[in-house]
Structure 1
Amino acid sequence: MGVFITASRSRFRTALGGAGLLAVSALVLAGCAAESEAPEPADNSTPTTPGEDLTLRVGTVLPQSGALAFLGPPEEAGVALAVQEVNAANAGITVEAIFRDSGDTTTDIATVSVTDLLSQDVSAIIGAASSAVSLTIIDQITGAGVIQFSPANTSPAFTDYNDNGLYWRTAPSDLLQGEVLGTEIAADGAQSLGMLVLNDAYGTGLAAALRDTFEAAGGTVVSEELFNEGDASVDAQVSALSAAAPEAVAVITFDQATFALPALVNAGFSGEQLYLVDGNLADYSGQFEDGLIEGAKGTLPGLDIETLGDFQDRLLEVDPALTEFSYAAESYDAVVLLALAALAAGSTDASAMAGELQAVSGGSGDGEKCFSFAECAEILAGGGAIDYDGPSGPITFDENGDPTEATIGIYQYNADNTYSRIN
């Protein structure tokens, strides 16, 4: 069965610049395991008998609107591509996907979407992209005995969250991104750092990790200015940063960068002094005058999509209008891992699937390496154990649902305000 799209999508897109070859990899340390028992299974199970196919129903709450809307199209395309390829494999499972909007924290769209999806007996909900939005719905989802699987949440708050073993993510914790970015800023020679920070779980969590790394390298954070989602201006924060006169400024925002970056440049900060993050690394060639942020750098979790063979081409077959590909691979892998977990469990009961997710990712320490759903499903059908690595890279979940391996790319802005992966 194909993808069932039952909501229209209003899209804000940015284009992806050219990519180089550098990626910085590191290990994400495991946190404390949740101690609570899993809840009673929800009414989303599909009892099976030998030879009977499984039907896995998943929902998505990905950003079709709001401050992260530019990430919605690639994430939804990743989900849709995985659904198509799982179903085409004819491996004993059919996936149905129901697409809904997450909005952002200025609205209650995510709660409404989750309520709708839970009424349709989904086994898992993929999303949200925003850590702050996920924190508003995680109890609603996991409390219903349903898996929440985010392709883009990076807040460290989820590592030891009391989620009954039902929260998983393919994006690494910002403990890693903060370490990589802080190391890069220090290596570039800056001794003082200012930070413009979105005041939510994502922004403050990433800022804390960045601060720890930069200060451990001998630098000093001279100003950390917070603003709230929905604010239309950061002029007061930029004035405070200007007064502190840092040698570098980290801009930890979502699409508020569209007005924050020009404000910083107008205050006297050059592009070479600015550092962006995954929430705002985007093509600004159609919005800023040439050269505005030339030399600025930024970080983004994930492999360079242009090194992933035909994965980008397959995404474009699903959505030919795609120009941004961030977190598409992580979204794809979320669906594949859920389908493999269902096959391993012989059930689409969420608790049973959650009990297999670490194993199918290779996190149990054994299993045969495999790199596609079809290949992995064949091994499972033969009674073997698997270790799935997908286009987002090695995943290898720990007991908290965090990936223990990840890659962070470092990018730099060109004169036309596009960005390229650098050495």
Structure 2
Amino acid sequence: MKARSAIFSVAALVLGLWGGTGGLPPAQGGDGELKFGYVLPETGQLAFLGPPQIESVKFAIRTINDAGGVLGRPVPAVVSGDEAGQEAVAAQSADRVLASGVDAVIGAAASGMSLAFIDRVTGAGVVQCSGSNTAPTFTDYDDGGYYFRTAPSDALQGPVLAKTVLEDGHDRVALLARADDYGRGLLESTRKALEAGGATVPVAETYDPKATNFDQAVQRVRNTGPDAVVVISFEEGAQILQGLIEAGLGPDRVGVYGADGLRSEELPSLVAPRDPARLAGMKGTAPASAANEEYVRQLKRFAPELKELQFAPQVFDCVTTIALAAEKAGTDDPGVFAKEIVGITRDGDKCTTFAACKALIQAGRDVDYDGVSGPLDFTDAGEPGQATIEVYTYDDKGQLRTVRTEVSSFRQ
């Protein structure tokens, strides 16, 4: 469990007596205006995940402002920063965003990028929330109670990925993952679940994601004679999949599986531009969102150029949860409202929009915000205790399809 201070400030106690509603002077450290910044991929390996997350931040802020803002004031335009797929650039972007005086930082998209600057953000007493960090590392990370995520840990995704492989009848499974916290964490949780299900894992190897050639890794996988291969990667996975196909380990020969880092409508054309159907039959898993057609419709109306929507709902919920916590605390001081974030997602009156939850808070009620990504129900570690995981596939035309979704929980 993450370290969270049990000592509340005097301001927080006083606000608690008033039901946590707005209208009181901001606590020490707050200026009455809730300011957001983001560090998200505008360029780099995960640039395809940038637009849905960035636009969802902006859409959430507009939704909040349409409902009267936070603490009686509109939320200003978000301060932008590019994580760029490079730790040094992400850290520099975080420094610039922090220097603008934000109360909360949304991001990064990649777990490794968040780890490059989490100490900067939480050490400054600023809240950080990611909608797509899935590395198990964050569950126990000593962040002082300032880091949160609306994406589930890969400790929940791994068992579903393994179950998918096993249900397809495979029992000799090779694992290949990028050598970072995301790759290692999902590799380990998947390996444990595969072996618990009776499968043999002849190789569970990590590779340097900055490498330009993955032939040796592919050859080591081929030499083990697997009947299925799991690839845990980002953009570089397209090159790895090309290598597997050339080595006779394509989806027409063995089971080929990916995870959220490879879930993209563009993947088949990246792997085989002239024949996207070469990827037909590949499957994978990713954190899913609730079937929220209204949110999708409104987001696309707000940002009509959007094609990819992955993790957009989770980011919307980051922004909304933070805004409701500030409303509940009666201040934009992160040192105070951070303590309200977990409670906003559980053990109160159900509500599904910022406006509805805000009205309940102003009436002195505790709220349980069920977001556009589904129920959040944060654990004390500031993350979902259960997750809906999507199983996806690519059909014979190279089109991305959802096979099913299922719930994975730490309580199972």
**1:87 pairs with 65, 70, 73, which one?**
65
Contact 2:191 2:204 in 1 (8 A): no
The structure with the greater share of residues assigned to helix is 2
Supply the AA of the counterpart residue of 1:292: R
Distance change (3 Å), C-alpha of 1:329 and 1:35: closer
Is residue 59 of structure 1 aligned with residue 37 of structure 2? yes
Q: Which residue of 2 aligns with 1:311?
A: 295
Is residue 33 of structure 1 aligned with residue 2 of structure 2? yes
Matches within 5 A, 1:288-303: 288=272, 289-303=275-289
Supply the AA of the counterpart residue of 1:340: L
**1:389 pairs with 336, 354, 370, which one?**
370
Supply the AA of the counterpart residue of 2:144: N
Q: Which residue of 1 aligns with 2:199?
A: 219
- Aligned with 2:390: secondary structure? strand
Q: Which residue of 1 aligns with 2:18?
A: none
TM-score by length of 1: 0.86
Contact 1:86 1:95 in 2 (8 A): yes
Is residue 286 of structure 1 aligned with residue 269 of structure 2? yes
Q: Which residue of 2 aligns with 1:13?
A: none
Supply the AA of the counterpart residue of 2:330: G
Supply the AA of the counterpart residue of 1:350: P
Shift of 1:270: 2.6
Q: Which residue of 1 aligns with 2:256?
A: 274
Residues 356-399 of structure 1 show CA distances to partners (whole Å, capped at 9, x for unaligned) of 0011111xxx2100000001001011111100011110101111
> Aligned partners of 1:285 and 1:265: how far apart in 2?
12
Supply the AA of the counterpart residue of 2:392: Y
Shift of 1:39: 11
Distance change (3 Å), C-alpha of 1:219 and 1:58: same
Is residue 77 of structure 1 aligned with residue 55 of structure 2? yes
Q: Which residue of 2 aligns with 1:410?
A: 391
Is residue 150 of structure 1 aligned with residue 130 of structure 2? yes
Distance change (3 Å), C-alpha of 1:225 and 1:328: same
Shift of 1:312: 1.5
Q: Which residue of 2 aligns with 1:140?
A: 120
> Aligned partners of 1:86 and 1:404: how far apart in 2?
26
Contact 1:154 1:172 in 2 (8 A): yes
Distance change (3 Å), C-alpha of 1:51 and 1:35: closer
Contact 1:155 1:201 in 2 (8 A): yes
Shift of 1:35: 5.7
Higher mean alpha-carbon deviation, 64-73 vs 337-346, is at 64-73
Contact 2:159 2:193 in 1 (8 A): yes
Matches within 5 A, 1:123-272: 123-271=103-251
Give me the CA root mean square deviation. Answer: 1.9
Q: Which ranges in structure 1 are unaligned for 5 or more consecutive residues?
A: 1-31, 42-47
Is residue 374 of structure 1 aligned with residue 351 of structure 2? no
Contact 1:40 1:145 in 2 (8 A): no
> Aligned partners of 1:391 and 1:296: how far apart in 2?
28
Supply the AA of the counterpart residue of 1:84: R
TM-score by length of 2: 0.88
Higher mean alpha-carbon deviation, 219-228 vs 273-282, is at 219-228
Supply the AA of the counterpart residue of 2:118: I
Q: Which residue of 2 aligns with 1:398?
A: 379
Shift of 1:416: 2.4
Q: Which ranges in structure 2 are unaligned for 5 or more consecutive residues?
A: 11-21, 405-412
Shift of 1:405: 2.4
Is residue 322 of structure 1 aligned with residue 291 of structure 2? no
Distance change (3 Å), C-alpha of 1:86 and 1:147: same
Is residue 352 of structure 1 aligned with residue 336 of structure 2? yes
Supply the AA of the counterpart residue of 2:306: L
Contact 2:229 2:257 in 1 (8 A): yes
> Aligned partners of 2:202 and 2:188: how far apart in 1?
14
Contact 1:80 1:318 in 2 (8 A): no
> Aligned partners of 1:175 and 1:222: how far apart in 2?
21
Contact 2:42 2:82 in 1 (8 A): yes
Contact 1:54 1:94 in 2 (8 A): no
More RCO (CA 8 Å, sep 6+): 1
Supply the AA of the counterpart residue of 2:288: G
Supply the AA of the counterpart residue of 2:354: F
Residues 162-201 of structure 1 show CA distances to partners (whole Å, capped at 9, x for unaligned) of 1000010000000011010011111111111111110000
Contact 1:199 1:227 in 2 (8 A): yes
> Aligned partners of 2:182 and 2:199: how far apart in 1?
23
Residues 14-56 of structure 1 show CA distances to partners (whole Å, capped at 9, x for unaligned) of xxxxxxxxxxxxxxxxxx2326678999xxxxxx854999421
> Aligned partners of 2:73 and 2:318: how far apart in 1?
16
Supply the AA of the counterpart residue of 1:385: D
> Aligned partners of 1:158 and 1:38: how far apart in 2?
23
> Aligned partners of 2:399 and 2:211: how far apart in 1?
26
Residues 199-220 of structure 1 show CA distances to partners (whole Å, capped at 9, x for unaligned) of 0000000000000000000011
